[in-house]
Amino acid sequence: MLFYAPAIPSLHERSGLIVKTRNMALFGTIVITVLVISQLIGIWVNNAIPLNTTIELNTLIHFTHIRNYGGVFGLLQGMGWIFGLIGFGLLIAVVAYLWFGKEINRYEYICFGFIVGGGGSNILDRLVYGNVIDFIDIQHIPYWSYIFNTADLMIHVGIWPMLILSFLTSTSTTDPENGSE
């Protein structure tokens, strides 16, 4: 009689799974924290600042409560659902990349946590309100007239360090002698 015994993972494989699980827990913690903070600030803006009005904090920063019914930079007004669907697909793809990827750096889990948390908050805004609550209005910047929110800011907190770190930590796959791989 033959019995099938599943292979017992090696110590190296188990330690890799532990590290992956810890990194995913860190990622999840950042996502939830960013999502909750962004949503709470959006609720505060919605309740404290009447729509289409401005509170001047100083000459540089104003809080101007507007609604974005489109996408990034107000593109495709009235078509926000398209950005919601695309965004949801991208968020799922990031989670799959982080879970199934073989050589993911810890900074990627952290940076993607900010990006997914911010993106998830904007998607949640679209589901709850049918639009995104924007309010951060920076003044006196030439050719800049955009108003954004905390979630957008968190997306940038994730994107820029990831870009910089990925360039600094990337290893060259080309042979410097002849330029081939």
How confident is the model over 11-50, as pLDDT tens digits? Answer: 555 677 888 999 999 999 999 999 999 999 999 999 999 9
Could you tell me the two tokens for 151? Answer: 């979630």
Q: How far is CA 143 from the centre of its chain?
A: 26
Residue type, 51: L
Cβ distance 139 to 61 under 8 Å?
yes
Picking from 138, 140, 151, 160, the residue whose alpha carbon sits closest to that of residue 72 is: 151
d(CA 163, CA 36): 25
Cα-based torsion angle of the residue sequence 106, 107, 108, 111 in order, rounded to the nearest 10 degrees: 140
pLDDT at 153: 95
Average pLDDT over residues 147-170: 92
Mean pLDDT of the chain: 84
pLDDT at 175: 47
pLDDT at 2: 61
pLDDT at 91: 86
pLDDT at 156: 95
d(CA 32, CA 114): 9
Taking each helix axis from N to C terminus, what angle separates 106-129 and 80-100, rounded to the nearest 10 degrees? Answer: 150
66 has pLDDT over 60:
yes
Predicted confidence band of residue 55 (pLDDT cuts 50, 70, 90): very high
Average pLDDT over residues 55-67: 94
Residue 180 CB-density burial (10 A; 0-12 exposed, 13-18 middle, 19+ buried): exposed
Residue type, 119: G
Picking from 67, 65, 69, the residue whose alpha carbon sits closest to that of residue 50 is: 65
Could you tell me the two tokens for 53? Answer: 């009005």
Q: Cα(first)–Cα(last) distance of the chain, in Å?
A: 51
pLDDT at 88: 83
Q: Where are the domains of the chain?
A: 17-168
pLDDT at 63: 96
Average pLDDT over residues 81-105: 84
Residues tagged active-site: 134, 152
